[in-house]
Amino acid sequence: MSDIQIGSKVVKFGGSSLADAGQFRKVRAIIESDPQRRYVVPSAPGKRHSADIKITDLLYTCQKLASAGKDFSEPLEMIRSRYLEIAKELGLGFDPTDELDRIAQRLREGATRDFAASRGEYLNGMMLADYLGFPFIDAADVICFNESGTLLMTETMMLLRERLAETKNAVIPGFYGAGPNGEIITFSRGGSDITGSLVARAVRAEIYENWTDVSGVLVADPRIVKDAAVINTITYEELRELSYMGATVLHEDAIFPVRAAGIPINIRNTNQPSDPGTLIVAGDSADSDAQTGYTITGIAGKKGFCAINIQKAMMNAELGFCRRVLSVLEDMGISFEHMPSGIDTMSIILAEDAIKGREKTVLSRIRKAVEPDVCEIEHGISLLAVVGRGMRRTRGTAARIFAALAHARINVKMIDQGSSELNIIIGLLDGDFEEAVRRIYDMFVNSALITKETETD
């Protein structure tokens, strides 16, 4: 490692942090307030207000229209005016016009979906580099994928290290890289978080700061629980569970690269830079006293699941029953989330998307494979995860969760507790989802606050 990288911080700024010129100014102030903030990973401009459209979404729309041979001038104009407005208001030396023309040309020539989407970060990276006076490094030169779109970690680390060792500062756009033939490939949505994590690992950063529009990871989704409390410290494992289950504040795959190198992640708020945010650390370095003090760390969940319910008398005595059912899914390339079972019943919970359009085939193949008495699909299921490293040593957590749901007359369709006792997953009907999150939040956070207040009275 070269000297210039020692103690450096990698800072990633999300879409809303770079949505307009005013946000760019905040970002520069944050970077300039700490000279260790050397390597910057920007997203494409996001929403300026709730009814706004992200640049990435506009680019996807352009590509869709272009590939259907339709006129895409309207979304393209919206993209153009956003970048030009930022450049003008900031008085940038860099004029994005030529790049925008090139993007339009590529779209007309049949650009791929990934290429189109990547241009949001590419162009924003060029603008930010100019504004900060930092060198721009094209992610296509340093982030490598194989032909099937899987990240090549070793090659990526080598290229990033080689390139970053030469420079004290840099802007590296998030979200994309290149395949073996130089073709642009993106991560899945929200993937700039992964780029930030890779850069942090490459320079062995002291910390990976992920700047967004909330003051950290909150105990529950702020769109469901208003003024949800901030989690001070969370472990990588807990956050992965939460982000997998829908706490979209950090991409679930952004955790592996830094975890392996023991680099902490700090989620911070661009609009409130003095807030300490959430620190994401390894399990053994998580100070238990720094926990929220609510037994649970967070609640997350999502809609869009279904259950295949199977019944057969004496199912438990039939050797290989489960395996034959699961083989059907495996043969059809369908993965599932959970498999709660009784003596004569089993259910398989899976994402609606995974089975859409193939339901009839799945059911008929299962019927053929195990000749069940009943085999049907139930739609409209949500999964909710209550996550917390503190649950392992606290008795009665499950009782409190289910008491909260019972009081609200919410019917629980499934319960699953992992062997690590890090989470309890609950299956519910979609219509009960938001209320369930609020009730569990109240049970653990609001009632904990009331207890604390009474204790100090």
- Footprint on this chain of ligand ASP (rule: CB under 6 A): 14-15, 43-44, 54, 56, 120, 174-175, 189-193
432 binds, among Mg ion, ligand ADP, ligand ASP, none (CB under 5 to 8 A by kind): none
> Which H or E run contains 329?
helix 321-331
Nearer to ligand ASP among residue 111 and residue 404 (C-beta) = 111
Cβ–Cβ under 8 Å, residues 224 and 301? no
Q: Which residue lies nearer to ligand ASP by CB, 106 or 189? A: 189
What DSSP assignment string belongs to 152-189?
Answer: -HHHHHHHHHHHHHT-S-EE--SSEEE-TTS-EEE-ST
Q: How far is the CB of 215 from ligand ADP (least distance, A)?
A: 9
Strand partners for 222? none
Pairing of the two strands 278-281 and 265-269: antiparallel
Name the DSSP class of 145: B
Nearer of residues 190 and 372 to ligand ADP, judged by Cβ: 190
Confirm or reject binding of residue 14 to ligand ADP (CB under 6 A).
yes
Q: C-beta of 95: minimal distance to ligand ADP in Å? A: 26
CB 45 to ligand ASP: min, Å: 9
Query: Among the candidate windows 10-18, 67-75, 89-97, 422-430, which touches ligand ADP by CB under 6 A?
Result: 10-18
Region 159-198 residues binding Mg ion, contact defined as CB under 5 A: 190
Nearest Cα neighbor of 350 from 334, 362, 365 is 334
CA 124 – CA 25 distance, rounded (Å): 14
Q: Does 247 bind ligand ADP (CB under 6 A)?
A: yes
> Is the CB of 8 or the CB of 56 nearer to ligand ADP?
56
- By a kind-dependent CB cut-off of 5 to 8 A, residue 174 interacts, out of Mg ion, ligand ASP, ligand ADP, none, with ligand ASP
Region binding ligand ADP by CB under 6 A among candidate stretches 34-42, 90-98, 137-145, 208-216: 208-216
Residue 301 binds ligand ADP (CB under 6 A): no
Q: Which of 375, 390, 139 is nearest to 286 (CA)?
A: 390
| Candidate residues 42, 46, 120, 191; the one interacting with ligand ADP per rule CB under 6 A | 46
Backbone angles phi, psi at 38, to 5 degrees: -95, -40
Q: Does 190 bind ligand ADP (CB under 6 A)?
A: yes
Q: Is 271 in the site for ligand ADP (CB under 6 A)?
A: no
Tokens at 230, concatenated: 């901030």
Closest chain position to Mg ion (CB)? 190
| Piece of 9-17, 93-101, 227-235, 379-387 that binds Mg ion (CB under 5 A) | 9-17
Residues with Cβ within 8 Å of 354's Cβ and at least 6 positions away in sequence, in order, are 334, 335, 336
In angstroms, the CA 216 to CA 278 distance is 5
Pair 303, 382: CB distance under 8 Å:
yes
Binds ligand ADP (CB under 6 A): choice among 10, 27, 214, 255: 214
Pick from 38, 211, 192: which is nearest to 129 by CA?
38
For residue 192, the minimal CB distance to ligand ASP (Å) is 3
Looking only at the bridges linking them, the beta strands covering 207-212 and 265-269 are parallel
Order of strands across the sheet with 345-351?
345-351, 298-311, 374-387, 423-429, 414-417
User: What is the smallest separation between the CB atom of 321 and ligand ADP, expressed in angstroms?
Assistant: 38
Sites for Mg ion among residues 104-163 (CB under 5 A): none
How many beta carbons lie within 10 A of that of residue 165, not counting itself?
14
Torsion of CA 309, 334, 260, 187, to 10 degrees: -130
DSSP 3-state of 287: coil
20: which 2 tokens? 């307009």
User: Would you say 305 or 321 has its CB closer to ligand ADP?
Assistant: 305
Distance, first Cα to last Cα, the chain: 54
Decide: is 222 part of the binding site for ligand ADP (CB under 6 A). yes
Using CB under 6 A as the binding rule, whether residue 241 contacts ligand ADP is answered as no
By beta-carbon proximity to ligand ADP, the closer residue of 250 and 329 is: 250
> Smallest distance, Å, CB 15 to ligand ADP?
4
Region near ligand ADP per CB under 6 A, out of 15-23, 70-78, 108-116, 373-381: 15-23
The site for Mg ion (CB under 5 A) is made up of 14, 190
Q: Which residues bind ligand ADP (CB under 6 A)?
A: 14-17, 43, 46, 190, 212-214, 217-218, 220-223, 247-249, 298
